[in-house]
Amino acid sequence: RAQTAATNSAAVDKEFAYEQTLMSAKPIGPADKPWEQSLSTNMVDTAKYKKAPPYRVCFSNASISNPWRVVGWKVMQAEADLHKSEIASLSYADAQDKDDKQISDIRAFVTGGKCDVLIVSPHTSDALTPVVEEACKSLPVITFDRNVRTDCPVTAVRTIGGYAYGMAGANFIVENMPKGGKVLMLRTAPGIDVFETRSDAAAKVFKAAGIKPIGVEFTGADNAKTKAVVSDYLSRVGKIDAVWVDFGAMSVAVAEAFEDAGQDYPIITGEDQEDYLQKWNQEGFKGIAPTYPAYQWRTALIAALDVLQGKPVYGPDWILPQPLITSANLAQYVDPKMPPLHYATCGCETLPGYPERWGGKK
Amino acid sequence: MSSMGAISIWTTEPEALLTMRDISKSFLGVRVLSHIGFDCRAGEVHALCGENGAGKSTLMKILSGAFPADEGTIVLDGTVRRFTHPSQARAAGIGIIHQELSLLPHRSVAENIYLGREPSRGGVVDRARMGRDARRALSRLGSTIEPQAQTGDLTIAEQQVVEIAKALAVDARVLVFDEPTAPLDVVESGKLFRVIAELRATGVAIIYISHRMREVFEIADRVTVLKDGRGMATLTAAQATPDAVIRLMVGRPISDLFPPRATRPPGAVVLQIQDGANGHLAGINLTLRAGEIMGVAGLEGSGKMELARAIFGDEPFTSGEITLLSGAAAAWSPREAVRRGVAFLPDDRKSEGLGLRQSLRDNALVVRRSLSRALALPSRGNRAPAIFDALFRKVEMRAADVDAPVGRLSGGNQQKVIVARWLAAEPRLWIVAEPTRGIDVGAKAAIYGLLRDYAESGGAVLMISSDLTEIIGESDRIAVMAGGRIVVELPPGASEEAIMAHAVHGPQVAEALA
Amino acid sequence: MTRGLASLRRINPTILVFVVLLAAICWMSPLYRTPAGLLSLLQRAAPVVILSCGQSFVLIAGGFDLASGSLITLVVVACALITGGDAGWTWVALLASYGIGAAVGVVNGVIVARGKVPSIIATLGTLLSVKGIAMMWSGGAPGGYLPANLRFFGRYVWRHVPLVGRFPVAVVVLIISIAIMAWLMHGTNFGRLLLMIGDNPRAAELAGAPVRRFRMLTFVISALASVTAGILLGGFSGVSVDVGTGYELQAISAAVIGGVVLLGGQGSMLGAVFGGLTLYALFTLLNLVGFPEPMRVAVQGIILIAAAALSARRGRRI
Amino acid sequence: MSGAAIPRGGLAKFRLPLALVICAAVVYAATALGTAQGEQLSWSGVMGLLQRMVALGIVAVGQTLVLLVGSIDLSVANLISVSAVIASHVMNGNTDAIALGVLAAIAIGILVGAVNGVLVAKLKVSPLIATLGVGLVLQGVLTTSYETLAGSVPASFRVLAYGRVAGLPLAILLLIVVVALAGFVLARTAAGYRLYGVGGNVQTARLAGIRTDRFIIGAHIAASVTAAISGLYLASWLGAGTPWVGRDGGYDLDSIAVVVIGGTLLSGGRGGVAGTIAGVFVFATIDAVFNMLQIDPFLGQVLRGVIVVGAVASYTIRTKAHVA
Ligand SMILES: Nc1ncnc2c1ncn2[C@@H]1O[C@H](COP(=O)(O)OP(=O)(O)OP(=O)(O)O)[C@@H](O)[C@H]1O
Ligand SMILES: Nc1ncnc2c1ncn2[C@@H]1O[C@H](COP(=O)(O)OP(=O)(O)OP(=O)(O)O)[C@@H](O)[C@H]1O
Ligand SMILES: [Mg+2]
Ligand SMILES: [Mg+2]
């Protein structure tokens, strides 16, 4: 879930600036396949891992306890279906959000000796570091989503980062909100690294623009609580001009709170979850969706296969682009046939089984 | 609180080992003991008598440190003592057998006997020694209970023996017996009395509480009578005639404990069992008619409780034929039995009879509610108070507040609430188990009267009891059980000796004797 | 006179606590000083109050129902999947939800009453299984929205109602639910026997009460209450995969705050209702004063302990 | 005064735990062979299986003690997080601070246990509520102050979780020590006997002269200390404490479930650590077997629920008494 929050402010500033440049940088790789693109140009040689197919791929997953991970896991399985001839088996271990179970799962994979490559989506970076190091000794390892604090994996698939995510929404608010407008910041929970960086970035942007949010509230990403919090704020301050969220699952609840109060929609930031995109598209409020693309689940498997085939891969960090959905390109992402909890940056449109596999209607 | 000042005022009598002076105690603002005093000498059996709720157990609990008195002093061996925890009383040499069984069902007999003072070396229990000592303590009571047996598997009587062994295993100078014989039969009681005699001979001061008047007169050197939380008098054995004691206890003489027997010939057959058998019982044949009270006697383990439970459907017969009011009673459960007009007064009222935190009203209405439609509420409306008044008058219940939790009542009054519950349901057959266990003589007379009235009005009663006096005094017929069988049926007024002969010697010998 | 004092003492202290909290809320925020504001508070509190009442049946009969949160999730998922956003299927979805609820309740009841598995363990098992079923059915992320006519119960507010202005539909659902449950608990033999069963099941059985059947029914009632709460919650806030998470402990907490005694034999619907209201009012107040979120959890813990300690003090006066 | 009930055989106590372990082991072995994963039966495979037991096993031993004494502890999950976080904060990568970190974690365990115990024994708060409340307080405080409590354990401390003695992981030794200690106290010492007494019936125990409150408080302290040890182990296993490690791990309800599966009565007074450890073994094999069979995680969740209920029902269903 998290690295410890960065406390060193100089380092924070540096990372902030770095991610800012990455957002505007042009990725290398095929333009129509963002999951094969990279913002880092560095490649690692994988000749020593080369093997003859078919491959036995093992995947230790933190969990599938939220819709993003569910969408992602289906993306990975669908990607595997594309490579039926090369993949003998895709063994899966689900750690149910338990670090200690994930460590045991990885060890069981290593001990079992039935894996040619190991993909890890770690639950907690620090916790998984030693066992990943252990695994690196016997087979090639790919990490994605969260990463671990070691260089031993062949590559760590990641997106630009939380700062980029956080600043995108905040910048949009700064640019579009009337002067002196009121901003409410909604956060999921404290102490979780990715959410911390997102809100740090937003707070920084607001501060630079001289905006002091009227409040920062934790909602646990719970819809009922989000609605109640927003309603309470509306009753307290009368009018709110923008709501910034660190997690897009809350956005529709925010919009509904305004509907229920009989008020006009403010600026609402979100994410590429379909319910938000569809609402945004329908109601035409001012919105923006930074993303945490679910196509990285494809990338991880692609990287694993590349490694086994001895093809060089981007590394040690494979930095994927992080598309920004704005009203200009909204039409490209919104799809009323997809279910509300689907993620639009799944990169799965061309995969076998789309859209039914993801709960969509033909 | 007043104890320090009390020393100088109360000089203990030289021969008294234990003196309790001026003890007062209130629960929730209700005074249950008021300036009670009494003393007990070494080598004396001192009986405490009184109606249910008179305060006997409360006084003894104060003595044993279960809770402190509000006022008053305890002087033991010339020293003023104040116990705030049972461990202190025990350390001072006071042993007690509480009225309620207090054993751990999941622990072994030995573990129960030595609970709280396990023989140990450096904290590690010497289990071998514990087993040996437990066996010795039990055999002193003439018991062969296995020290390693799980206590919950024992019968209530056996558990009581364990309870006694537990108290005897303390080197007590004062030993309190609070109704020790309530669950025991005559044979076992006899063994206990022998032990008490031994203890007395070795100079132990013994305080003895029982509602069985005969025992009291048999073993007591002196008798102190309590009434409504006050001490009435202390009588010597010579002064303590049954009449005198009962008059002090009840406030009036009780001329006839038992009502006259059935006046009319028995009516239609209410219950008929042919060759009834289950895991505990075999070859049960029994016919019970309306208007009859049938007593069932037998030693512990004879199967008399099992018979009651089988008829009531708690542990039904697995073979044989049982007919109730001319309908077959197969696949029987307590609920089914209650529906068909059977009432059951369990022998263990705390664990099987009452919801202690529920009000008198709710406890008295539970059967009516069980029988009525689930979504109706029959106790609503103007009739409700009248029902209670009538019921509680019938059972001579003086408790006022029908909304108070039943747990606050004394044992006897609790029993009356259960009786009232069944009267309200107007049953056809009433199985009563130990109906007067732990009940004072006044209330006993009332319950005997109630049962007889019930029979006279056309009901049938099956009365299981370990108290031979009540078996003989109340029954129209007496069945004696041994080894899970009914060994003989005796006419009313059979002698204790005759009943015991069959109960002790079982079928074969009894026939030979006959 | 002593009777008068006694009945005064019998007033549930939760009511007083609630009144104090409400006063504080009104003092903090002008919104809640209007009838419409109070009604919107009631609207949001409705699921917790209904859950607390349903849970109280189980608690009073001596058990626990930990499966209620999972069941809420299952209901919301089921409604989303059955309707797929199509208003025509709403009634089917509602019927199916109550059917599912009844089934879960019966399963819980049978495991506890017939299988004699302690209800904490039994409903822990169903908690896992029901949640797993919800996830399996939806594939982990339910497809489909809840149609507006289904969300009506939890979300819709009648406007321009005389006297109060705005009147949420959820409050009507709340009142009806409370009325039914209060009648069951206090106006029927069933409810009165539950208290006896919770106090001493063996005694109740030997007095002819259908102990196992009634115990089973308490789980069914609790489950049906969870379904109702789920419909309100789904209506209020839409589809998500963790709608119900944590509600089982909130329900138990609310009941305890309302003076329902764990392990049975004591409690009332009035207490359960005010326990639920108190818990929600507390959350609202902490929201209003801007107390940092994690510390609100801590405050909830302290309140819970205080309430239980208080009722223990009262209870000891048997 | 005759009559003799069947004496309890010395081994009867272990019949249920043994049956559980054998069943689970057979299923594990059969799955490993049936799915051609024989390596899971190798020494390191089995050690891996056993290591799955450690964190839950240690805290479950403490949970056994509180359940035996008739109480329950729902605060262990959050206490595990607190202990892990505090330990890694105090150690902060510094080998010299290991002792201090361990001490700090244990001290907090003792403190929390004492609070739980006093609430339950002295203030008569229902143990479920008391420990749930304390757990919430811990969670709130921890989340609030987590950022200031960041830290990690030094590599030398990770030996606890990763080190081996003669091929046997140290962690498993630690579990064995905790189990043996608790088992000895319960089965052989006067304190253990009295603990059963207090759990069986507080009034009975009190009337037998036992200072009952001390046992209730003591059991709670013991449970909290095991939670703290579990937290230390997790800090060592994971390299740093996180505020969610206990909660995500589900150690509160899981520890209760394994104790009950192991045959300890929820109402107290009967049971023991042998059963508990068997229950923990069952849980560990469930995880391992589901992995080997590639069971869908959601289906796994359903099955886990069914197994918990089924395991307990298999021996409660024959009892005649009512449970709640
Ligand atoms: N814990 C208690 N709380 C409240 N009242 C109590 C408590 N214990 C006893 N009482 C009350 O104190 C009075 C005396 O009870 P006690 O048990 O001493 O009577 P007793 O003489 O032993 O009667 P019995 O012969 O029925 O055993 C009764 O009115 C009883 O209701
Ligand atoms: N008269 C009483 N009847 C029933 N329970 C009591 C009574 N007095 C105290 N208790 C309760 O019994 C429990 C045992 O307390 P007691 O003082 O007997 O021993 P203890 O508290 O274990 O000893 P210590 O406090 O010295 O460790 C306490 O929680 C107390 O509330
Ligand atoms: Mg008494
Ligand atoms: Mg004390």
* Contact residues for B246 (Cβ-Cβ < 8 A; gap 6+): B213, B253, B254, B441
Q: Is the pLDDT of residue D1 over 50?
A: no
Give residue limits of the domains in chain D.
12-323
- A79 pLDDT band (50/70/90 cuts)? very high
pLDDT in tens, B85-104: 999 999 999 999 998 878 99
Residues surrounding ion ligand 3 at CB below 5 Å: B 57, 99
Is residue B165, in this structure, part of any structural domain at all? yes
Which pLDDT belongs to residue C318? 40
Using CB atoms within 10 Å of the CB of residue A181, give its burial: 0 to 12 exposed, 13 to 18 middle, 19+ buried.
middle
What strand order describes the sheet that includes B79-81?
A: B30-41, B16-27, B71-76, B79-81
Nearest beta carbon to residue D52 from set A96, A104, A189: A104
Neighbouring chains to D with at least 3 Cβ pairs closer than 8 Å: A, B, C
Strand pairing report for A183-187 and A215-218: parallel
- Signed CA dihedral, A282, A284, A285, A288: sign only: positive
Pick from D316, D310, D217, D309: which is nearest to D264 by CA? D316
Secondary structure (H, E, C), A138-177? CCCEEEECCCCCCCCCCEEEEECCHHHHHHHHHHHHHHHC
- Signed CA dihedral, B162, B166, B171, B176: sign only: negative
Q: How would you classify residue B322: left for phi > 0, otherwise alpha for psi between -120 and 50, otherwise beta? A: beta
- Using DSSP's 3-state secondary structure scheme, residue B268 falls into coil
Nearest beta carbon to residue A105 from set D44, D55, D291: D291
Question: D69, D119, D211, D215: which to mutate for ligand 2, most atoms within 8 A of CB?
Answer: D211
Q: Measured between alpha carbons, how far is B162 from B102 in angstroms, rounded to an integer?
A: 10
Which pLDDT belongs to residue A234? 87
- Using DSSP's 3-state secondary structure scheme, residue B448 falls into helix
Q: Measured between alpha carbons, how far is D249 from D245 in angstroms, rounded to an integer?
A: 6
Which pLDDT belongs to residue B91? 92
Cα distances (Å, whole numbers) of residue B129 to B100, B110, B125, B134, B146: 28, 10, 9, 8, 14
Which pLDDT belongs to residue D2? 38
Q: Measured between alpha carbons, how far is A291 from D39 in angstroms, rounded to an integer?
A: 42
Beta carbons of C307 and D124 less than 8 angstroms apart: no
pLDDT in tens, A199-216: 999 999 999 999 999 989
Residues B221 and B82 in one domain: yes
CATH of the domain at B325: 3.40.50.300
Q: Is the pLDDT of residue A1 over 50?
A: no
pLDDT in tens, B34-89: 999 989 999 999 999 988 778 899 999 999 999 999 999 999 988 999 899 999 99
Which pLDDT belongs to residue D275? 94
pLDDT averaged over chain D? 91
Q: Measured from the CA of D122, which atom of ligand 2 is nearest? A: 29
Phi/psi for A152 (5° steps) reads -65, -30
- D199 pLDDT band (50/70/90 cuts)? very high
Which pLDDT belongs to residue A39? 93
- B384 pLDDT band (50/70/90 cuts)? low
Pick from D81, D112, D60, D138: which is nearest to D217 by CA? D112
Which pLDDT belongs to residue B382? 55
pTM of the shown model: 0.91
Q: Separation of B294 CA from ligand 3 center, angstroms?
A: 29
Phi/psi for C310 (5° steps) reads -65, -45
Residues B330 and B449 in one domain: yes
Q: Separation of B112 CA from ligand 2 center, angstroms?
A: 20
Is residue B81, in this structure, part of any structural domain at all? yes
Pick from D44, D45, D75, D42: which is nearest to D59 by CA? D75
Residues B222 and B324 in one domain: no
Give residue limits of the domains in chain C.
36-244
Q: Which two tokens stand for residue C223?
A: 């489950």
Q: Measured between alpha carbons, how far is D106 from D113 in angstroms, rounded to an integer?
A: 10
Q: Which two tokens stand for residue D106?
A: 């244990």
Q: Is the pLDDT of residue B149 over 90?
A: yes
Residues B222 and B120 in one domain: no
- Using DSSP's 3-state secondary structure scheme, residue B462 falls into strand
Partner-chain contact D188 B125, CB within 8 Å: yes
Q: Measured between alpha carbons, how far is B251 from A107 in angstroms, rounded to an integer?
A: 84
What average pLDDT does the segment A101-126 reach? 92
Q: Is the pLDDT of residue D4 over 50?
A: no
- Signed CA dihedral, A71, A73, A77, A79: sign only: positive
Which D residues, 245 through 264, put their C-beta within 8 Å of a C-beta on chain A? 245, 248-250
Which pLDDT belongs to residue B25? 94
Exposure letters A329-345 (e unless 16+ CB within 10 A, then b): ebeebbbeebbbbbbbb
Residue written as tokens 């189990």? D179
Beta carbons of A1 and A123 less than 8 angstroms apart: yes
Q: Is the pLDDT of residue A99 over 80?
A: yes
Residues B379 and B449 in one domain: no
Bigger pLDDT: B15 vs C152: C152
* Contact residues for C105 (Cβ-Cβ < 8 A; gap 6+): C216, C219, C220, C221, C222, C223, C224
| DSSP, residue by residue, C150-217 | HHHHHH-EEEEETTTEEEEHHHHHHHHHHHHHHHHHHSSHHHHHHHHHHH-HHHHHHTT--HHHHHHH
Strand pairing report for B269-277 and B319-324: antiparallel
3-state helix, strand, coil in chain D (%, to 5): 75, 0, 25
Beta carbons of C305 and C256 less than 8 angstroms apart: no
Most confident of C181-185, C249-253, D35-39: C181-185
Nearest ligand to the CA atom of B412: 1
Cα distances (Å, whole numbers) of residue B33 to B6, B229, B235, B400: 18, 4, 20, 19
Question: B410, B414, B415, B436: which to mutate for ligand 1, most atoms within 8 A of CB?
Answer: B410
Which B residues, 390 through 429, put their C-beta within 8 Å of a C-beta on chain C? 405, 407-408, 421
Which pLDDT belongs to residue B301? 78
- D6 pLDDT band (50/70/90 cuts)? very low
Nearest CA in chain C to D134: C301
pLDDT averaged over chain C? 90
B170, B194, B209 - which closes a domain: B170
Partner-chain contact D1 B149, CB within 8 Å: no
Question: B58, B85, B408: which to mutate for ligand 2, most atoms within 8 A of CB?
Answer: B85
Residues B17 and B44 in one domain: yes
B379, B394, B425 - which closes a domain: B425
Q: Which two tokens stand for residue C115?
A: 């299988």
Q: Measured between alpha carbons, how far is C75 from B4 in angstroms, rounded to an integer?
A: 69
Beta carbons of B113 and B154 less than 8 angstroms apart: no
Domain range for B357 is 349-425
Which pLDDT belongs to residue D213? 96
- Ligand 1: residues whose CB is within 6 Å? B 27-28, 32, 50, 52-58, 99, 408-412, 438, 440
**Within an 8 Å CB–CB cutoff, is residue D148 touching chain C?**
no
* Cα angle, residue D306 at apex, residues D301 and D309 outer, rounded to 5°: 125
Cβ neighbours of D191 in B, within 8 Å: 123
Does D211 contact ligand 2 (Cβ within 6 A)?
A: yes
Q: What's the number of domains chain B is made of?
A: 4
Does D201 contact ligand 2 (Cβ within 6 A)?
A: no
Q: Measured between alpha carbons, how far is B361 from B357 in angstroms, rounded to an integer?
A: 11
Q: Measured between alpha carbons, how far is A98 from C113 in angstroms, rounded to an integer?
A: 34
Q: Is the pLDDT of residue A80 over 80?
A: yes
**Within an 8 Å CB–CB cutoff, is residue D190 touching chain C?**
no
Residues B477 and B395 in one domain: no
Nearest CA to ligand 2 atom 25: D213
Q: Separation of B58 CA from ligand 1 center, angstroms?
A: 6
What average pLDDT does the segment D163-186 reach? 95
Beta carbons of A267 and A177 less than 8 angstroms apart: yes
Q: Which of D78, D82, D142, D291 to mutate to test the interface with A (most CBs of A within 10 A)?
A: D291
Please report, rounded to a whole number, the percentage of residues in chain D having pLDDT higher than 70. Answer: 96
- B509 pLDDT band (50/70/90 cuts)? low
Does B258 contact ligand 2 (Cβ within 6 A)?
A: no
Cis bond before residue C118 (omega within 30° of 0): no
Please report, rounded to a whole number, the percentage of residues in chain C having pLDDT higher than 90. Answer: 68
CATH architecture of D12-323: Orthogonal Bundle (1.10)
- Using DSSP's 3-state secondary structure scheme, residue B125 falls into strand
pLDDT in tens, D203-255: 999 999 999 999 999 999 999 999 999 999 999 998 888 888 899 889 999 99
Is residue B310, in this structure, part of any structural domain at all? yes
Q: Measured between alpha carbons, how far is B228 from D217 in angstroms, rounded to an integer?
A: 39
**Within an 8 Å CB–CB cutoff, is residue C57 touching chain B?**
no
Q: Measured between alpha carbons, how far is C59 from C61 in angstroms, rounded to an integer?
A: 5
Q: Is the pLDDT of residue B152 over 50?
A: yes
Phi/psi for A245 (5° steps) reads -120, 150
Which pLDDT belongs to residue B366? 92
What average pLDDT does the segment D272-292 reach? 94
Residues B315 and B445 in one domain: yes
Which pLDDT belongs to residue B11? 42
Largest CA distance in chain B: 74
What average pLDDT does the segment D194-200 reach? 96
Minimal CA separation from C207 to chain B, in Å: 5
What's the complex ipTM?
0.89
Q: Is the pLDDT of residue B380 over 70?
A: no
**Within an 8 Å CB–CB cutoff, is residue C122 touching chain B?**
no
Q: Is the pLDDT of residue C185 over 90?
A: yes
Which pLDDT belongs to residue B2? 38
Please report, rounded to a whole number, the percentage of residues in chain C having pLDDT higher than 70. Answer: 95
Beta carbons of B197 and B208 less than 8 angstroms apart: no
Q: Which two tokens stand for residue B415?
A: 């029993």
| Segment (H or E) for B285 | strand B284-289
Q: Measured between alpha carbons, how far is D128 from C11 in angstroms, rounded to an integer?
A: 25
Which pLDDT belongs to residue B250? 78
Which pLDDT belongs to residue B263? 75
- Signed CA dihedral, D6, D7, D8, D11: sign only: negative
Per the DSSP assignment, residues forming a β-bridge with B433 are B464
Cα distances (Å, whole numbers) of residue D255 to D61, D161, D249, D274: 8, 20, 10, 14
pLDDT averaged over chain B? 86
Residue written as tokens 């001289």? A210
Nearest ligand to the CA atom of B62: 2
Minimal CA separation from D8 to chain B, in Å: 6
Q: Is the pLDDT of residue C51 over 50?
A: yes
pLDDT in tens, C71-99: 999 999 999 999 988 999 999 999 999 99
Nearest CA in chain B to D206: B86
What average pLDDT does the segment C195-212 reach? 95
Partner-chain contact C192 B362, CB within 8 Å: yes
Mean pLDDT check: name the lowest of B193-207, B499-513, D13-27: B499-513
What average pLDDT does the segment B173-177 reach? 95
Is residue B396, in this structure, part of any structural domain at all? yes
| Segment (H or E) for A288 | strand A287-290
Beta carbons of B61 and B36 less than 8 angstroms apart: no
**Within an 8 Å CB–CB cutoff, is residue C175 touching chain A?**
no
Cβ neighbours of C115 in D, within 8 Å: 309, 313, 316-317
Is residue B256, in this structure, part of any structural domain at all? no
